[in-house]
Amino acid sequence: MSRFAAPIAEQIWDMKYRFKQPDGTPNDVTVEDTWRRIARDLAQVEKDPKHWEERFYEALEDFKYLPAGRITAGAGTARSVTLFNCFVMGTVPDSMGGIFDMLREAALTMQQGGGIGYDFSTIRPKGADVKGVSADASGPLSFMDVWDAMCRTIMSAGSRRGAMMATMRCDHPDIFDFITAKSDPARLRMFNMSVLITDAFMEAVKADGPWELVFDDKVYHTVEARDLWNKIMQATYDYAEPGVIFIDRINKANNLSYCETIAATNPCGEQPLPPYGACLLGSINLARLVANPFEENAELDETALQDLVATAVRMMDNVVDVSKFPLEAQAQEAKAKRRIGLGVTGLADALLMLGLRYGSDEAAAQTEAWLKAIARASYLASVELAKEKGAFPLFDAEAYLASGNMQQMDDDVREAIRAQGIRNALLTSIAPTGTISLYAGNVSSGIEPVFAYAYTRKVLQKDGSRTEEEVVDYAVQMWRDKFGDRELPDYFVNAQTLAPLAHVKMQAAAQKWVDSSISKTINCPEDISFDAFKDVYMEAWDTGCKGCTTYRPNDVTGSVLSVSEDTKADKPVPVAEGGEVVYMSEPLDRPQELEGNTYKVKWPDSEHALYITINDIVLNGHRRPFEVFINSKNMEHFAWTVALTRMISAVFRRGGDVSFVVEELKAVFDPRGGAWMQGKYIPSILAAIGGVIEQHMIATGFIAGEGMGLKTDPQRQVVGLDTPRGKACPSCGQFDMRMVEGCMTCGSCGHSKCG
């Protein structure tokens, strides 16, 4: 029998985590091979590798412990990729040379697959003097544009775009420009953005007092704190960004406050990190640990939880020694502090199995109890590791125990740390688990509520036929297996029907025992008033959260899914027929003959022209691009044209909304300058190729016109939900993009903006 609880789980494994040869031949024949590969790799640094390989395998088996995607995909493959998920880069110097050194480091990190965070507060504001060159500074936003363009050209490991977080302090003179930057729909698309909010600022907001905008001890402006707060809130209300990070609270609670200062986070916000800080992530699958689900005696097996946590901590500690790092400074930082981020997924499903309504006082209390149990088990496991392998190099017992976070820890844990030391400076974090939760059988993601009980997705088979799959939440499927068609109880709630303050309550309950932070999205209804929306952020501040991210569907952000009055999952809804874009389970075989066209592109100052051939396949009476060939007599172009040919053709053969290829190519600029062609400025030869592909798509009817998306929108409906609006997934084409844990994520294929 397959270990996978649902077809989508196996498809996610095959697409994202299964180790394969370059030609597609699988090294991992089964998911057991994947678990074995990870277990063996992480056990190699142990004195008794065979023993620990078996222990690690047992933890991975049946998806009980879920290492983050980079570990699952990369461990034991000998690929030159990092197993760390997230990095905060070095402090950006306020100098041209230093800024571009940081840009180079960012490119190297994203090339190996790391998501990065930067604090741009260190760059002088727009209009400030630049000494020695008689010029005015262009400001941090102009350099963020450079980072954004660089990120578009770097493909992260695992065929994911690099993800970036930009932060700016609430007292920086350019903070108003930062707040409104994303009101321009074409700007800073590769960034998540958050404002660093200080305690002093929140006090000024509550007191309706003045607020100084300062750089280098010079006051540039004095504004009303509440006006600035309202500006942040309005931008977030309208555009879902910027997020809010309570930076003083983070630094006060940090176990390492005695030796580091934090000013930025990773892209999804769950890891506040110092300069060159890195963290690896993993999650305990609570949904797999509940005994007697939906019965009166249902309970989470806390003994099994403690054992699993201890094994997971050991595995994650070994990753520090096994992983490669893009930069030596990152390796040194990681090994000096050995921080890890162990979290949970399947929380909402586990609560449902106990009969608890997510967002209720009882559910919040149970969440706090479970997270405290995980924190205790994590710290005690790390103490045992310190006995065996030594404490982290920068450990200072009295300074460590005096930190804000450690002062609330139980006395027996504090005494154990004082006596033995601790192996890992920080241990817990709630990370985004969108893709790995699908891989684990569509368990609820992180500490989020269940997003949708069930929905249908279409999969295109190799012969061009379509099949429909129902994707069901793990707990809902367990209910069906146990009780058949019996109606779901009232305590089954989802992300769309919950009040925003119920989300905040759950985040605050979990945060109390999480030493890093939490990736969480607070879903707000489209018609929430602005004052009520602001109350969500103030409640997050008042209840001890370290940050806040909301999502309010509207005409700008796109309505992800809207809930109908009938939210029961046992009433199937037919999927609409028509010209929908579908995802293919396997690439289509090439027919003997294809229709196509060849186009000539003569780039100025180039001796030889490029010849671009685009061939199409006809499916269900519709013509769509299938492959591309790019040829030139200029041998300097040979390597990259071959690479581009293979990559674009591979994307085309997978199906879905492939028009994004045009968008990405047209966005590439050449730092040496572009060229004028047929009355238009083309920023690079790659952009010219993108323009040719776009014109071909228009001519064949695949897209409606220049700069436009699909001629016929993909359609599908969610069980119990109205037809969604908004953008299709750029990977699989389905209308299942949702804001989950601070990141736009596809529920059908796991594609995530944040990598």
Residue pair 88/134 in contact by the 8 Å Cβ criterion: no
At residue 751, the pLDDT reads 73
Amino acid at 56: F
Instruction: Report the pLDDT value the prediction gives residue 475, as an integer from 0 to 100.
Output: 96
Token duo for residue 357? 């309504």
Closest Cα to residue 34, out of 8, 15, 7?
15
pLDDT in tens, 539-561: 999 999 999 999 998 766 654 44
Averaged pLDDT, 479-508: 93
Reported as a pLDDT band with limits 50, 70 and 90, residue 157 is: very low
**pLDDT at 737 (0 to 100):** 74
Per-residue pLDDT, 65: 98
Residue 585 pLDDT: 52
Which has the closest alpha carbon to 393: 259, 266, 251, 253? Answer: 259
Higher-confidence residue: 595 or 429?
429
| Residue that wins the pLDDT comparison between 25 and 378 | 378
- Predicted pLDDT of residue 124: 95
Whether the bond between 242 and the residue before it is cis, its omega within 30 degrees of 0, is yes
Let me know if residue 503 belongs to a domain. no
pLDDT score at 119: 96
> Is 155 among the domain residues?
yes
Residue 303 inside a domain? The answer is: no
Contacts of 610 (CB under 8 A, 6+ apart): 600, 601, 602, 603, 630, 631, 632, 637, 641, 685, 689
Q: At 203, is the pLDDT very low, low, confident or very high (cuts 50, 70, 90)?
A: very high
pLDDT (0 to 100) of residue 672: 67
Question: What CATH number does residue 116 fall under?
Answer: 3.20.70.20
Does residue 136 surpass a pLDDT of 60? yes
Q: Is residue 617 part of a domain?
A: yes
Average pLDDT over residues 31-36: 97
Contacts of 394 (CB under 8 A, 6+ apart): 256, 259, 336, 337, 425
Q: At what angle do helices 361-389 and 302-322 cross, to 10 degrees?
A: 50
pLDDT band (50, 70, 90) for residue 40: very high
pLDDT confidence of residue 735: 64
**Which contiguous run of DSSP H or E holds residue 333?**
helix 328-337
Report the pLDDT value the prediction gives residue 716, as an integer from 0 to 100: 28
Asked about 746 being catalytic, the answer comes back as no
pLDDT confidence of residue 172: 98
Boundary-marking domain end, from 211, 234, 268: 268
**pTM for the whole structure:** 0.79
Q: Write out the residue range of the structural domain in which residue 629 sits.
A: 584-699
Average pLDDT, the chain: 86
561 within some domain:
no
In this predicted structure, the answer to whether residue 343 has a pLDDT above a threshold of 70 is yes
Number of structural domains the chain divides into: 2
pLDDT tens figures, 168-182: 999 999 999 999 998
The share of the chain scoring above pLDDT 70, in percent, equals: 86
Tens of pLDDT, residue by residue over 680-724, are 778 888 888 998 998 898 888 888 666 544 323 222 233 333 344
pLDDT band at 462, cuts 50/70/90?
low
Of 211-220, 359-368, 541-550, 702-711, which gets the smallest average pLDDT? 702-711
pLDDT of amino acid 699: 86
Q: Per residue in 389-425, pLDDT tens?
A: 999 999 999 999 999 889 999 999 999 999 999 999 9
Question: Which pLDDT score is estimated for 78?
Answer: 86
Determine contact, residues 281/437, Cβ cutoff 8 Å.
no
Task: Decide which of 238, 268, 298 is a domain's last residue.
Answer: 268
Question: What's the confidence (pLDDT) of residue 441?
Answer: 94
**563 - beta bridge partners?**
721
Looking at 86, 151, 268, 743, which residue is catalytic? 268
442 labelled catalytic: no
Q: Which of 218, 234, 268 delimits the end of a domain? A: 268
Residue 550: inside a domain, yes or no?
A: no
More confidently predicted of 635 and 46: 46
**Neighbouring-strand partners of residue 273:** 264
Q: What is the pLDDT of residues 611-629, one digit of tens each?
A: 999 998 887 667 888 899 9
**Selected residue with higher pLDDT from 142 and 701:** 142
Residue 573 has a pLDDT of 31
Catalytic residue among 53, 105, 260, 270: 270
- Decide if 219 is inside a domain: yes
Q: Contact, 169 vs 123, CB < 8 A?
A: no
Residue 486, in any domain of the structure: no
pLDDT over 80 (residue 113): no
* For range 556-580, the mean pLDDT: 40
CA distance 196 to 243: 9
Q: Above 90 in pLDDT, residue 605? A: no
- For strands 115-119 and 86-88, give the pairing: parallel
266 assigned to active site: yes
Q: Which is catalytic among the residues 85, 192, 266, 405?
A: 266
pLDDT at position 417: 98
